[in-house]
A and B are shown apart, each in its own frame.
Chain A
Amino acid sequence: MTTRTEAVYLPLMFLTVSMLGGLRVADRITFAPPPLFALVLAMLLLGVLVRGGVVAPERLLNAQRPAVANLNGLMVIVTTFFASTQVFNLIIPESGLPFLLFNVFLFVLLINTLAGSPDRVSVLRSLAVITGTSFILKFIFLTALSDPAGGAFKRALLSLFEGMTLGALSQQPLHPATGYIAFGTLVLFLIGMAMLPAAATHRAQPKLRISGDVSRHRRS
């Protein structure tokens, strides 16, 4: 990772994600602060990122680095946390039953991932799937259901869930621009995640140990 990436590009990218993650365009523009549970989910995601080797905190903060470099490293970690918080704020529906279901689903998913031992590529792939699926559910599925005009997609969904009341599912209608901004924000977030300094020796140690054991065995 270059100095420019660590000191400039990554913090600015994650801050942009933090800014746009709360942007809601309806009849007026609002910047929605994250709900408390988004902080919990972001903390879990940070744990997953470290455990999966997506980010290596020791490459950003260590005693050998000068103070200003450590400050840059700290900024990367802090902005990663805030960007994660705002991404959860973005992909989780605003109210009702979907708000509860999304929170529980993401919490269980992150706890499960944290309990396992995923590698860097798996974590990044899983993150893309989680954010992508949530985006589709919130900005396409739920938005179509909450559309007061009711387009063809809503009619198709209603016929699919015949007899089900939509009171618990419908959300406050948003301007279509919100969806486009959300898509761009998620792409920026995923690019930032892939650019984080990865753990260099992740998953390499077990292989080395095996080869050492074999050579000792041969000598004997």
Chain B
Amino acid sequence: MLMNDRPVRVIGLVLTISYAAFIVWLYGRQPQTMAEVTGAITARVGAYRVDRQAFADGLQLFRRDQLEAARAAFERADPAQQDARTQFYIAYSYYRSGWHRFYQDDREFQQGLERADKAIALAGGRLVVADPELRIHNADELRAELAGGLRTEASDFNPMRIFKGRK
């Protein structure tokens, strides 16, 4: 081997291992958009930032119960879906828009459950959002509420449940 071969070989090894790790990550995480790919990479190096203005807009709309518009603003604030707090609010908005006094919208609850799972995973387990205007602060509690809404149980047929309020 020539002496000047060594740097090329080492660079090749580093590139190959990095590229292979990226592919393994890609197959494991299954990102849907380029924003998710770049967002996850920047989040890993601690350079990912949520759009504060869009988040504030989302929060305002969420509090006014304009849930679909709030979700759009939250999605704009966190396009790569890397911020646990924003994902919590999106999950919460699905819970609120899917909740009805006589029934629950399974589609909305399912989407909410996926976002709640994402929020918990991003937070690394425990996630508490200290917002006094919310009735659920813990992501695990929100998840349980969404999962419970998707299950069909004997208590669903209890007429008294119509008096149960939305959280």
Contacts and interface: CB of A to CB of B under 8 A. Distances in A.
Interface string B24-36: 0011001111000
Interface stretch (B3-11, B40-48, B60-68, B122-130): B3-11
Given A65-B1, A66-B1, A4 B26 contact: no
Contacts of A207: none
A15 B25 CA distance: 13
Q: How big is chain A's contact interface, by range?
A: 20 to 34
A7 B12 contact: yes
B27 A8 contact: no
A122 B10 CA distance: 34
A66 B2 CA distance: 11
A31 B16 contact: no
Interface residues of B, number: 21
Chain B binding surface, main DSSP class: helix
Contacts of B69: none
Interface in A1-31: 3-4, 6-8, 11-12, 15, 18-19, 22, 28-31
A46 interface: no
A8 B10 contact: no
25 contacts: A3-B2, A6-B12, A7-B8, A7-B9, A7-B11, A7-B13, A8-B15, A11-B12, A11-B15, A15-B19, A15-B20, A18-B23, A22-B27, A28-B32, A31-B26, A31-B30, A65-B1, A66-B1, A68-B10, A69-B5, A72-B12, A72-B13, A75-B12, A75-B13, A79-B20
